[in-house]
Amino acid sequence: MNEQTSGKAALQIVVAVLAATPVLAGIAGVVSGPEFLHVPAPWPVDLDSHLRFLSGFFLAVGLAWYSCIPGIEAKTERFRLLAACTFCGGLARLFSLLAAGEPSAGHIAGLCVELLVVPALVWWQARVANKAAPHARLTGA
């Protein structure tokens, strides 16, 4: 396995592992609603509806990250769009931390992934794409 192939494979593995979080958390939020976050019932119906909607969105974003894995070197536009969505979510989570206080350790970990790891993944994917550019046409779709 050459350096280009090993870098691509490593990126694919990292994305696969990280994408499991939004997929699993999304499913849990859709199925359980606020109970997923250990919020004692009863809770407002609007909170339940909003959390389940956002959980569905979280699930969809996680699945979209998985769609980048095959041919990851040619999915630059999609990869960057998902990264931007994830980063914006991290900014919102940071605003919550500043406005409402420190959340649980899991949410702090998510914040670190969203604001630190995701930009590093964009850089890594660009390197993989640039190394593959002489060998393949980049489409991003």
CB 52 within 8 A of CB 33: yes
Model-level pTM?
A: 0.89
Task: Round the average pLDDT of the chain to a whole number and report it.
Answer: 93
Is pLDDT larger for residue 93 or for residue 39? 93
- pLDDT of 5 reads 74
- Does residue 123 carry a pLDDT above 60? yes
Q: pLDDT tens, 61-80?
A: 999 999 999 999 999 999 99
Is a pLDDT exceeding 60 seen at residue 59?
Answer: yes
**pLDDT per residue as tens digits for the range 104-115:** 999 999 999 999
Q: Is the pLDDT of residue 135 over 70?
A: no
Token digits for 64? 């979209």
State pLDDT tens for residues 3-32.
667 899 999 999 999 999 999 999 999 999
% pLDDT > 70, the chain: 92
CA angle, residues 23, 25, 27, in degrees to nearest 5: 70
If you count DSSP H runs as helices and E runs as strands, how many of each does the chain have, helices first? 5, 0
